[in-house]
Structure 1
Amino acid sequence: MKLLSPRLHGYVDYAIVVLLALAPLALRFGPVPTAVSYVTALTHLVVTLLSDQPLGAARKIPFPVHGALESSLGVGLIASPWLFGFSAEGPARIFSVVAGLALVLVVLTTRYAAGVLSRPEPYDRYDR
């Protein structure tokens, strides 16, 4: 069931970026999970800003491609504690897995074709 519209998805994207950026400070991650969280936050911010969605800035990446990239970020976050060797750090491991699962859940519940099929041109600033 696709619950999230492109606009609501944009709000969730920016909230996830803030969460990824603040978690290392709030949960006192070590250097490796901190770097993973910051790089993921920055990557997600750039992808969101470049996506063709109502809250995107440049609208260069088609919204379905945005979903595929976001899915990859989610899977990468889930695997990162074992890929980068911080699986022994409980809070960092749990946060990475939960944040990755949240990203995948957002991808699975978004209507990526909502705007694509109904409009031939990209969104403008006022979502017309």
Structure 2
Amino acid sequence: MRNLWGRRGHARVDYVTAPVLYLLARRARLSPVPRRWADIFVGLILLAVTTTRTSLGLVRVVPFRWHGRLELASVAAQLALPWLAGFSGERRARHFFLGFATYNFLVWRATDWSAEE
């Protein structure tokens, strides 16, 4: 897969992803536990994008490559979360998080993590 965007493009994607994830979690009618986890990821995405060294970061303290490493770790967490948090039996919630992890991996893969500002 070819890199589609660099720092600024990835930040834009993150700024769009957070509110969309929030809305999708409600639209999917997730039960309280998975919905709470979705909200946690919304907060983590916003924390990451606002603190990363990009032109769209508000407090630019996190190196862009670290952001990428943390994002990849979050993909692993999203994949395991239905089983770790005890909602793997909820088909809708399980598929929601597996889909979110897939989306997040594709965003990670499409980003040029060595891109200059």
Verify same fold: TM over 0.5: yes
Unaligned runs of 5+ in 2: none
Question: 2: CA distance between counterparts of 1:2 and 1:25?
Answer: 31
Please give the residue correspondences for 1:14-33 in structure 2 after superposition, counting only pairs within 5 Å: 14-33=15-34
**May I ask how many residue pairs the two structures share in their alignment?**
116
Letter of the aligned partner of 1:67 in structure 2? G
Does 1:74 pair with 2:37? no
Whichever of the two has the greater Rg, that structure is: 1
Unaligned runs of 5+ in 1: 116-122, 124-128
Question: 2: CA distance between counterparts of 1:55 and 1:73?
Answer: 21
Q: What is the root-mean-square deviation of aligned Cα atoms in Å? A: 1.2
Match of 1:36 in 2: 37
Query: Percent identical across equivalent pairs?
Result: 32
TM-score normalised by L of structure 2: 0.92
Q: Residue 112 of structure 1: CA displacement?
A: 1.4
Letter of the aligned partner of 1:34 in structure 2? R
Map Cα deviations across residues 19-53 of structure 1 (whole Å, 9 max, x no partner): 22122211111111011101111011101100001
Question: 1: CA distance between counterparts of 2:5 and 2:70?
Answer: 17
Q: Residue 73 of structure 1: CA displacement?
A: 1.4
**Is the 1:75–1:104 Cα contact (8 Å) retained in structure 2?**
no
